[in-house]
């Protein structure tokens, strides 16, 4: 299965459109969103073309292809307008031989770990900074970066997981980091 992973759209119709174009170009089987879908949050400036109602329509049109976890800017009101589940704090993905604990990152992160076993992967967004770091007992921390509001000099980005490998890509599809899981 080819999985596209993206985080932190924050209501930007411009970058949501770019993300969905990348999803089509990648021909991924599913899109995993790591939270902060509609609202920009009080700590962020408005992203380019902030239009949450348009983002709702764009994502609802693909509701059968989307898995989503809740971010710190996501609320029950958002769930009332989005037609795919998005209020779970985490999901588990098996990528042989590893298990991935996918979450937004505002609750569970490398400073407050979920229940991980050796070799498990912690995958989250929230920081808006791409990451691929080892920690703990052969564990791995992965972050796709942000679709709409990248930070720390990073670029608008997403990840692809396929066949036990990961690729970090710019929104135009250029690979800037890859690794075996």
Q: For the segment 19-72, what is each residue's pLDDT rounded down to a tens digit?
A: 999 999 999 999 999 999 999 888 888 999 999 999 999 999 999 999 999 999
Determine the CATH number of domain 3-180.
3.60.21.10
Q: For the segment 100-135, what is each residue's pLDDT rounded down to a tens digit?
A: 999 999 999 999 999 999 999 999 999 999 999 999
Q: What is the DSSP string of the chain?
A: --EEEE---TTBHHHHHHHHHHHHHHT-SEEEE-S--S---TTSPPPTTB-HHHHHHHHHTTGGGEEE---TT--HHHHHH-SS----SEEEEEETTEEEEEE-SSSSBTTB--SPPTT-EEEE-SSSS-EEEEETTTEEEEE---SS---TT--SEEEEEETTEEEEEETTS-EEEEEE-
Model pLDDT, residue 160: 98
Q: For the segment 34-44, what is each residue's pLDDT rounded down to a tens digit?
A: 999 999 888 88
Q: pTM here?
A: 0.96
Percent of the chain with pLDDT over 70: 99
């Amino acid at each position: 299965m080819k999985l596209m992973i993206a985080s932190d759209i924050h209501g930007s119709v411009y970058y949501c459109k770019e993300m969905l174009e990348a999803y089509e170009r990648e021909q991924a089987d599913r899109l995993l969103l790591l939270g902060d879908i509609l609202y920009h949050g009080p700590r962020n400036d408005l992203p380019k073309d902030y239009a949450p109602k348009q983002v709702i329509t764009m994502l609802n049109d693909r509701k059968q292809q989307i898995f989503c976890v809740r971010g710190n800017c996501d609320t029950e009101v958002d769930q009332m307008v989005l037609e795919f589940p998005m209020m779970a704090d985490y999901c588990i993905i098996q990528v042989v031989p590893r298990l991935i604990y996918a979450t937004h990152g505002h609750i569970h992160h490398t400073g407050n770990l979920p229940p991980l076993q050796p070799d498990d992967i912690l995958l989250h967004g929230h920081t808006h900074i791409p990451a691929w770091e080892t920690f703990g007992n052969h564990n791995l921390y992965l972050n796709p970066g942000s679709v709409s509001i990248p930070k720390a000099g990073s670029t608008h980005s997403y990840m692809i997981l396929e066949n036990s490998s990961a690729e970090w890509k710019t929104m135009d599809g250029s690979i800037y980091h890859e690794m075996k899981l």
